[in-house]
Structure 1
């Protein structure tokens, strides 16, 4: 059990007899309940490369029909009480979401339970969502940043589920069938692979009773899910260029890093915040405000189950491509060469912790964060530990993290021929 910073909130964790993990954050301030239902052993990491996009398509269709209800009937039930219900997929999980006023929670959860257990994946709905997915894939291919990021991702994660979009590719999505979705559902949707995270005006006892009533008789298949096998990658670095007719050049400079369990995780979070978080960040001030090189510039370091990536990027005028790339590289090497100033580190800590707190204001956000931490093996106590871990990081630790991880850059430049010619033989130093 975890007590939050607000005296009215308390988070509990229990495991039902069939293996379902139930997390309840009692937050009675508003007369609402939000839920996130995670299947950790599902998502992009559990697809073969030949079936990339499988779980995204499944998530798009799973709410479109059950043994008793059609897609229209499901939508009518949800909308008639002003609730919301949906599903999504990422590389690290598949999740379903719900939100409703407290009095209707049992009704909407009963419907959700039927969707979890008895989806039918109607062929006409599969075909509709396939067309929408293919349109999304083609749309992304028209956006310079997405083109650049897709190229970098593929080079950084060869033969790895993180190497391509959760949408899949046109080829793989075209090949998926309703039977593929049914087989994946039967294999991965099971009680011992389900984390239910609820937040709102509901007690642990009430949530347990509803979960037992709707899901308590759901039995696990006799065979356990096989362990996840993802190749461990060694940073290689490299430089790739791709021509695209656009008004700007996109430069991405990234590094392969460790997992959420890596000792440098919090130091890298702080370095990402320092470099790319907001209008006062180092990259924004130096490369946009002072040098006028950037239309857009930032950095990010996503929390991932497997090896993550530390990414910096800049959008610039084609004529400035070489100097913008050198500037981005110089900023990374500056972190390798010397520790951050104490004042810069403290500002990054304040910013990171402030935004972390702001990300837990709604019931949906609370349900997401506790369910996500549980799903990737960190546990609900990680929420309380996050602040203390961040506060303890020293400038020496951020310097050591930079020295360990910022040695083999993966660089991608996408833009018109004018931009590519300027970096054809560039020697970064």
Structure 2
């Protein structure tokens, strides 16, 4: 029977744990006649062997292409006949099955999701087709300067850590993947005690839990313990990586190793990212594009990661401005360590970040995604409120201390005409 009921924050989030270990999160939001569901699994690319990189992504591509009872065409017809949405995705830190439909059809679509999760058939022809499509996608990315710059930066920073490889995998690794690899990965990770089901929409928490219990309650957990994840360390060895490519612009990226989402300095670095590279009013955009005209595109991003993350700034610039772009990006980042933000600058960053955070929880799909993500990452549903409190409590001194700690010598990734980057 369900247990551990938790009510929390302005929206009441009900948390139940079924007897088989499935965690059910439910938020009643009757504003629209839609129910969104996110089914998270503790899987994803960081659970893959290095030589089988791309395995979880391939599984996400073929998971909905057949079950023991239904063909891929029959699955598609069931979804499209009621105008519903269902898809599978793989990320570094989790695997996800997403569905959305009107409340009347939700039990039917959730039942279909249950069949897909519990009895996929992995048809050989579908596996081969999706494998070839992924390889084409990998090859296509090698022609895109931004993707090339990011890929070589990621490999340089993470070395042998799974984050060092794209979720897609590599052309070599994907070429070697087989149906038996998918079955082994599925048997290892797809089990009820490894699942979080997050539901938001026009449904009561009691009804939501009852439906999950009806469809998934008899799914027995595997007696074999879940595999222990042992990740390699991420050494700090910054250097410059270059990739000659005949393009009309150079791509310059600076990368800094940064803390995971569980770290106390996570909030401060999120604010620095907002100040530095978030939007048309950000420091990088104003200083390097508007005032100096150096950038076609300039920004920064700091990924929310379960393990060691990265803080990255980048610029697309005319080839002749490549060296100036490197110096400009470095100067703006290093400035954050040498002088603190003013109270006004920090408050503007807080208002922007918290405003965007609130806008990211407007729809049922967004609510189901946010709460399910926090649960699967091990943060718990209270992190939603804790994060906002942490943001409000950050001081200028705290942001400067974080910058001094993490914005040391950067990894540098360059892609552009050979005569320029060399």
Shared fold (TM-score greater than 0.5)?
yes
Q: Which residue of 2 aligns with 1:10?
A: 12
Is 1:405 the equivalent of 2:406? yes
Q: Which residue of 2 aligns with 1:33?
A: 35
Report Cα offsets for 1:276-296 as digits up to 9, x if no partner.
100000000000000000000
Is 1:295 the equivalent of 2:333? no
Rounded to whole Å, the distance in 2 between the matches of 1:305 and 1:227 is: 15
Q: Which residue of 2 aligns with 1:148?
A: 149
Q: Report the CA distance between 1:261 and its aligned residue.
A: 1.4
Q: Is the 1:15–1:21 Cα contact (8 Å) retained in structure 2?
A: yes
Q: Is the 1:3–1:10 Cα contact (8 Å) retained in structure 2?
A: yes
Rounded to whole Å, the distance in 2 between the matches of 1:153 and 1:324 is: 20
Q: Which residue of 1 aligns with 2:44?
A: 43
Q: Report the CA distance between 1:226 and its aligned residue.
A: 1.9
**TM-aligned CA distance change 1:322 to 1:2, over 3 Å:** farther
Rounded to whole Å, the distance in 2 between the matches of 1:283 and 1:344 is: 14
Q: Report the CA distance between 1:234 and its aligned residue.
A: 3.1
Rounded to whole Å, the distance in 1 between the matches of 2:32 and 2:264 is: 38
Q: Which residue of 1 aligns with 2:24?
A: 22
- 3-state secondary structure, aligned to 1:295: strand
Question: TM-score scaled to structure 2, two decimals?
Answer: 0.97
Q: Which residue of 2 aligns with 1:91?
A: 92
Rounded to whole Å, the distance in 2 between the matches of 1:180 and 1:377 is: 27
Question: TM-score scaled to structure 1, two decimals?
Answer: 0.96
Q: Which residue of 1 aligns with 2:419?
A: 418
- 3-state secondary structure, aligned to 1:202: coil
Q: Which residue of 2 aligns with 1:197?
A: 198
Q: Report the CA distance between 1:4 and its aligned residue.
A: 4.7
Rounded to whole Å, the distance in 2 between the matches of 1:400 and 1:77 is: 55
Q: Report the CA distance between 1:122 and its aligned residue.
A: 0.2
RMSD: 0.9
Q: Report the CA distance between 1:235 and its aligned residue.
A: 2.0
Report Cα offsets for 1:351-370 as digits up to 9, x if no partner.
00000001111111100000
Q: Report the CA distance between 1:342 and its aligned residue.
A: 1.1
Correspondences of 1:25-424 after superposition (within 5 Å): 25-40=27-42, 42-421=43-422
Rounded to whole Å, the distance in 1 between the matches of 2:275 and 2:67 is: 48
Structure 1 window deviating more from structure 2 (219-228 vs 163-172): it is: 219-228
Rounded to whole Å, the distance in 2 between the matches of 1:3 and 1:375 is: 17
Structure 1 window deviating more from structure 2 (236-245 vs 146-155): it is: 236-245
Rounded to whole Å, the distance in 2 between the matches of 1:261 and 1:98 is: 28
Rounded to whole Å, the distance in 1 between the matches of 2:351 and 2:205 is: 33
Q: Where does the alignment leave 5 or more consecutive residues of structure 2 unmatched?
A: 1-5
Q: Which residue of 2 aligns with 1:427?
A: none
